[in-house]
Structure 1
């Protein structure tokens, strides 16, 4: 199916170029936030590891932005040898063209000893929970931090206070050793996560010595809280419950939802949820005879289950016990709920922009499977994508005219599946409505399957569900008649079984996307190991004229590695300001 639609809104968005001016960010310029990326020995979970950090810690500092307002975030690469970037996970296209933070896609990385000023403008209506992280190699395992977008108005739900809870993985091996193993012949797996960290803290029952502690989330009796959960894991798909407390989901990936009561959360890498928690009263606590409760976190879909803990502590004169780890889980061991929340979460306010099946101009099916030999890779429609391909960022090549956007679009359409195998990109025109189907298939050699949290840059998608077997548009459309899909930026492709016959379908996830903003956007599995092994795709929205019309001609300093847009100790950066 193929047709292109336009509307007055889309035409106006194309006709409105972003007014920009070129300025020197000299010593008189004061960024709103400063992040410094370093690599050094760092201790987590009672183990010291050489890690990439932001402002000397992992996670890095919490950033708070306001919707509709421009923030300048200066990122220093203080490492000696490695490149870095910072990606504003979930903030979609509401940034300047080179501010998405994806090397080889939308910008040259920040060289060692340089810095880059990111111009970030969260859109109106995007207040919610996000995070930032490096998009180079395996750095995001530690180089990350929470990012909260505040509303200009009061939030739609009342609560007294809020707490941010960031979930991440700990690996004993260094980033370099992990990447070397994943890309070598013979292949060497990274190993499983050694600990689930909560706000950078974890303690195992085996830690009889060491100063590491369980994380403590401190609350007051009788108050109501917004808990912001951020799934910043590298590998782990998690189930989380709080002993003797129920939750009510009110936000998913930056979008408010109608309250949905639940006793647990399932959180994949890249996903975020806000929940409301009503604290127990002082009288109830006295009857219970306890003031702290365990937050139980369990890995799903891995060869071996790992259960770790944090503490929900009611403040009093008695400090929390952060060294005692339960001998056995206080809650039942979690199991995967296939399709959790599918067709259950609803928008808080009606969303009339959801594209119907009749509006879809093209369906793109992306077959996902692993290829195993002495070297193991993940393929999408038969191709892998890694940061060394292409040789220069696609967006740079669009500006310089080296990338023929018209030619690659025609090739992709003529091949029938929407994929251009020469540039390894999925092109789309402004005004199209895409239905993108991620189709899980058994490994080519042994039929093995895995779970994948797929994340989209550039545009939030309407998640229209998932299921077992192979995608069937007709039957899924029947399911959609009784639900109103919400927008997400990360959703789970389940496997439904551990193995099947080679290349047999076993699970799908489908999205609908309105192509409105021009740009180069990564769509990828958010498991870092899978990304390193090739599980990434690139979508190019719009042609060169669309890109130029949306952002004006760009300055040469953005188009070369270490160009004048990247400052260092000898010169201030020459920066184009895209927003007033």
Structure 2
């Protein structure tokens, strides 16, 4: 038996076991979820902006911190308390392979939660996934505010010692409301959202926007002298690619990137794009000369600079002090560092996985990114875009219903640079080791942009980035003797402001072992670009592997918008339970 055949046999046996394990259950009044998120649209004042309708989670933005432990199963109930808007919740960075309808992507894996309904998400972070994540809506522009930190704790002692933790949730905000911004981005001609009006830390922020000052209160990160803290930085922005540093504290030691523990790496500053997360160790001063130090954050790769601040507070937090931004910047932050931390981060020795070599690669897929301005301004990948309007129902639902959109054809994909043009999806076979090269190109109008690309479903080994066109031989030589870290969000940089239409200028390369059957997204995590079509769908596995996870008739409640898996005041949901772990832990 060939090894590939053996892998297929193991997969089929695993699928059969999973099918036997799942069951239909009713989450009636006796069911108590592990966490409850209630999403509302309320008038809310942020920074120096006037009050406007904002999507909040449990009444705040960012929403409450969720803290789970790896190796356990949780049920998180998400209420859509908005009377006229759909909602989903995505668990950014977590593989939702166990629960295929719970990834929270409305055009891909599930129907959105209708107004005044709720949905119970089964979340099972596997052992080895301890780290920093976040949750956010995947509908429209809602994630600009409907988001919050998600921390997966180690089931055993973590590899690094520290005295405490601080979450730094980086957000941004805009002058327009969500619906206006969303309508403008899909309008012909394009009506741009405008640049970020403020950079926020844990929902607060003051500073400047293109020179205009905002004297709003700042977030306080309270610390004690002579302690070591784990700072968890979360890139929860819609648009902002942030450069940041802490006044008087250049001793930042990176220990985690996107949920993967790394060997320690020292840096004096960070670059954090939308969707990225880093943990750094910071040792405070043994006896501070002053009670406060500013954390300064600035936007990069935008036509104007937005600057924000938070405070590292050595003072007494009780009673809490109120802090405001400085009159002038306290630091000069570096411009964009192209390839920041590329080739520098390596897996922690306790957590390294078998890294597939270049000889293991079965296929290279180049995903060419281009902005098209003939007609509406849209982003396309290999000449196709993906929006909430295509397809008309979630792709996984369509595959189960077999009602129009067929399963992607590998034959058509191989003839079209990896994409099946009929379904606009990228198929891959279980057992493949693929390299995904994201290639930046000059727009129709000649412009270039930078993009943080995020993969759902499974983490990838990040192979780095560079200018021009990807050269696998040269890059493999650069990686000789080292192992890259696994990531889920990395930057596609630009190496000029403009270039010729279609000129290749900048690449990012990943290596992925295809092990998780399912329908997953790969997309730029800038919300504006997503709405303009900068999203792709990947189907990992054949029809029996993808659809065999949940048999019929158990799956029926997921196939209809507002089906019986969505509860409301009068109806308890009937859901598929994929794991018995949760019942055993109750």
Q: TM-score when scaled to structure 1?
A: 0.95
Contact 1:95–1:122 at 8 Å: present in 2 too?
A: no
Match of 2:179 among 166, 169, 176: 176
1:167, 1:13 → 2: CA distance? 40
Q: Rate the CA distance shift 1:223–1:501 in 2: closer, same or farther, 3 A.
A: same
Is 1:532 the counterpart of 2:535? The answer is no
Deviation at 1:354, TM superposition (A): 1.4
Query: Structure 1 residues 279 and 14 mapped into 2: Cα distance closer, same or farther (>3 Å)?
Result: farther
| Alpha-carbon distance between aligned partners in 1 of 2:33 and 2:134, rounded to the nearest angstrom | 19
Contact in 1 for aligned 2:469/2:505 (Cα 8 Å): yes
Aligned to 1:393: 394
Q: What SS does structure 1 have at the residue aligned with 2:207?
A: coil
Structure 1: gaps of 5 or more residues = none
Where does residue 555 of structure 1 map in the other structure? 555
Q: What displacement does 1:352 show? A: 4.2
Distance (whole Å) between structure 2 residues aligned to residue 229 and residue 348 of structure 1? 19
Instruction: Determine the structure 2 residue equivalent to 1:384.
Output: 385
Answer yes or no: is the 8 Å Cα contact 1:127–1:254 preserved in 2.
yes
Q: 1:238 aligns with which of 228, 234, 242?
A: 242
Check whether the contact 2:255–2:265 (CA below 8 A) recurs between aligned residues.
yes
Matched ranges for 1:25-40 at <5 A: 25-40=27-42
Shift of 1:549: 3.2
Distance 1:178 1:5 in 2: 51
Deviations 1:400-455 (A, max 9, x none): 23467666222212x141101111000111111111000000012x2100000000
Q: CA deviation at 1:238?
A: 0.6
C-alpha contact (below 8 Å) 2:428/2:539 kept by paired residues: yes
1:464-479 aligned at under 5 Å gives the runs 464-479=463-478
Q: 173-182 or 10-19, which moves further after superposition? A: 10-19
**Contact 2:167–2:232 at 8 Å: present in 1 too?**
yes
| Structure-2 change in CA distance of 1:339 and 1:478 (3 Å) | same
User: 1:248 aligned to 2:248?
Assistant: no
| Alpha-carbon distance between aligned partners in 2 of 1:173 and 1:95, rounded to the nearest angstrom | 38
Q: How does 1:216-295 map to 2 (within 5 A)?
A: 216-245=220-249, 246-282=251-287, 285=288, 288=289, 290-295=290-295
| Greater mean deviation of Cα atoms: 179-188 or 26-35 | 179-188
Alpha-carbon displacement from aligned partner over 1:49-71 (angstroms, at most 9, x marks no partner): 21111111100000011111110
Q: Distance in 2 between matches of 1:207 and 1:428?
A: 49
Task: Please tell me whether the aligned partners of residues 399 and 544 of structure 1 are also in contact (alpha carbons under 8 angstroms).
Answer: no
Conserved 8 A contact 2:109-2:397: yes
Aligned to 1:165: 168
Q: Distance in 2 between matches of 1:532 and 1:265?
A: 27
- Give 3-state SS (helix, strand or coil) of 1:555's partner: helix
State whether structure 2 residue 19 is matched by structure 1 residue 15: no
With over 3 angstroms needed to count, the CA separation of the structure-2 counterparts of 1:61 and 1:43, relative to structure 1, is: same
Partner Cα separation in structure 2 for residue 531 and residue 407 of structure 1: 22
Deviation at 1:5, TM superposition (A): 6.6
Give 3-state SS (helix, strand or coil) of 2:548's partner: helix
Give the structure 2 partner of residue 88 of structure 1.
91
Question: Does the Cα contact within 8 Å between 1:268 and 1:492 map onto a contact in 2?
Answer: yes
State the Cα distance separating 1:209 from its structure 2 match: 9.0
Aligned match of 2:149: 146
Task: Give 2:100's aligned residue.
Answer: 97
Is 1:572 the equivalent of 2:572? yes
Report the equivalent of 1:327: 327
How big is the shift at 1:375? 2.1
Contact 2:7 2:431 in 1 (8 A): no
Name the CA distance, whole Å, in 2 between partners of 1:99 and 1:352: 26
State the Cα distance separating 1:153 from its structure 2 match: 0.5
In structure 2, relative to structure 1, the CA distance for the partners of 1:152 and 1:407 (3 Å cut) is closer
By how many angstroms is 1:223 displaced? 1.0
Per-residue deviation at 1:43?
1.1
Q: In structure 2, how many angstroms separate the alpha carbons of the residues matched to 1:304 and 1:24?
A: 52
Task: Find the aligned partners of 1:209 and 1:498 in 2 and give their Cα distance.
Answer: 29
Aligned counterpart, 1:462: 461
Aligned twin of 2:583: none
List aligned pairs for 1:443-454, cutoff 5 A.
443-444=443-444, 446-454=445-453
Q: What is the distance in 1 between the residues matched to 2:10 and 2:271?
A: 40
Separation (CA, whole Å) in 2 of partners of 1:368 and 1:209: 36
Equivalence map 1:343-358=2 (5 Å): 343-349=343-349, 351-358=352-359
Aligned partners of 1:435 and 1:511 also within 8 Å: yes
Instruction: Note if contact 1:103-1:387 (Cα within 8 Å) is conserved in structure 2.
Output: yes
- Give unmatched runs, 5+ long, in structure 2: 581-586
CA distance in 2, matches of 1:81, 1:167: 28
1:54-94 deviations in Å (ceiling 9; x for gaps): 11110000001111111000011110111000000000234
Task: Check conservation: 2:455, 2:522, Cα contact below 8 A.
Answer: yes
Hey, what does 1:497 align to over in structure 2? Answer: 496
What are the within-5 Å matches in structure 2 for residues 193-208 of structure 1?
193-204=196-207
- 8 Å CA contact 1:380–1:535 kept in 2: the answer is yes
- In structure 2, the residue matched to 1:409 is 410
Q: Does 1:545 align with 2:516?
A: no
